[in-house]
């Protein structure tokens, strides 16, 4: 097997709730191969979102290691981590989280504002990303002019516009009807198949998880 893109070793995350300490993740060890579509399942409070956040570099573990493409994201300072996220991770959220005053194209362009790309280059990449998700004709639409499924596909375009190796999706179909959910999951599947992206998706839904190449379950902070 090739070197995994994500390598997690003895990862523990403890939260303090007043005087009580809650174990969100308990010495997790996990490898995720490049090009994998991993469905991370588990009940609420099982720690799946926490694990996703640590892999994506938006949260820090209490102990343990989390290497993504060889970089231990737990060791990076805040500024370096922000830069790393911009180049290496694409985010997809349950509630789409598009900026309402920006058009679909402008929303997709947002992560590119941090790069040194010219305006023309940025526009080209945005067009490509929107084409990938089948929304090139909706480039100038504001989020409120799009359906939920279309909004989530714009979010997918935003996640892949910087061409990251890793895409993390936190309940991406949680707010969608079944038809839109199928569209979004299909788009994610295509990203893995056609673009070789590694996708980690948190979901409650077994039907959504079935789109993944592997499913793992978390229960009370432990892999089951």
Partner 1 sequence: MTIPTFILKNALRNKRRALLSISSGAVSLFLLVTLQVALRELTLPPQSAGAELRVAVRNKISITNPLPVRQRGIIEKIPGVEAVTPFTWFGGKYKGEEGMSFAQFAMDADKLHSVFGEAKMNGDGYEKFNATKDACVLGKITADKYHLKVGDQMTLDSTIYPGSLSFHIAGIYFGTPDDRNMLFRQDYLDESIGEPGYVGMWWLKVKSADDMVPVIKAINAAFQNTSAEVRAESERNFQLGFISMLGNIKTLIASISTVVVFTLVLVTASTMSMAVRERFRELAILKALGFRRRELFAFILAESFGLAVAGALLGIGGAYCLYTFGDIGKMTAGIFVSFEVTPRIMGVAALVAALLGIIAAVAPSLSVARMSVVNGLKTLD
Quick one: tokens of 113? 């504002």
- The CA-CA-CA angle for residues 86, 88, 89, to 5°, reads 80
- Give the Å distances, CA to CA, from 152 to 28, 119, 163, 219: 30, 25, 18, 28
List of residues 6+ apart from 159 with CB closer than 8 A: 90, 91, 92, 167, 169
Query: Which positions from 28 to 57 touch partner 1 by CB under 8 A, shown as an x/- string?
Result: -------------------------x--x-
Among 26, 83, 205, 219, contact with partner 1 (rule: CB under 8 A): 83
Among 8, 68, 85, 198, contact with partner 1 (rule: CB under 8 A): 85
Question: Does residue 14 bind partner 1 (CB under 8 A)?
Answer: no
- Closest C-alpha among 147, 191, 152 to residue 174: 152
Is residue 94 within 8 A of residue 41, CB to CB? The reply is no
- Give the Å distances, CA to CA, from 45 to 12, 35, 96, 149: 15, 28, 22, 26
Question: Does residue 102 bind partner 1 (CB under 8 A)?
Answer: yes
Cα 187 to the chain's mean position, in Å?
13
**Binding to partner 1, residues 142-181 (CB under 8 A):** 158, 170-171
Question: Does residue 95 bind partner 1 (CB under 8 A)?
Answer: yes
Is residue 48 within 8 A of residue 202, CB to CB? The reply is yes
**What is the closest distance, in whole angstroms, from the C-beta atom of residue 192 to partner 1 in the complex?**
21
**What is the closest distance, in whole angstroms, from the C-beta atom of residue 22 to partner 1 in the complex?**
14
Among 2, 20, 78, 120, contact with partner 1 (rule: CB under 8 A): 78
Among 16, 100, 144, 194, contact with partner 1 (rule: CB under 8 A): 100
Question: Does residue 106 bind partner 1 (CB under 8 A)?
Answer: yes
Binding footprint of partner 1 on the chain (CB under 8 A): 53, 56, 58-59, 78-79, 82-83, 85-87, 91, 93-95, 97, 99-102, 105-106, 109-111, 113-114, 119, 158, 170-171
């Amino acid at each position: 097997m090739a070197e995994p893109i994500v390598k997690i070793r003895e990862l523990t995350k403890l939260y303090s709730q007043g005087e009580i300490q809650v174990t969100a993740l308990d010495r997790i060890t996990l490898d995720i191969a490049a090009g994998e579509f991993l469905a991370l399942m588990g009940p609420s409070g099982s720690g799946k979102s926490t694990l996703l956040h640590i892999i994506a570099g938006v949260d820090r573990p209490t102990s343990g290691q989390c290497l993504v493409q060889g970089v231990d994201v737990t060791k990076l300072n805040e500024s370096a981590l922000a830069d790393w996220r911009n180049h290496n991770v694409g985010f997809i959220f349950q509630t789409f989280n598009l900026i309402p005053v920006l058009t679909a194209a402008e929303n997709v362009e947002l992560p590119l504002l941090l790069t040194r790309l010219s305006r023309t280059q940025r526009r080209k990449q945005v067009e490509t990303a929107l084409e990938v998700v089948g929304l090139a004709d909706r480039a100038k639409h504001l989020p409120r002019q799009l359906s939920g499924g279309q909004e989530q596909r714009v979010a997918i375009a935003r996640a892949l516009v910087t061409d990251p190796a890793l895409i993390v999706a936190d309940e991406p179909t949680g707010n969608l009807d079944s038809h839109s959910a199928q569209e979004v999951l299909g788009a994610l599947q295509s990203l893995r198949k056609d673009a070789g992206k590694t996708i980690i998706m948190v979901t409650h839904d077994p039907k959504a998880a079935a789109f993944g190449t592997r499913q793992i379950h978390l229960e009370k902070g432990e892999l089951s």
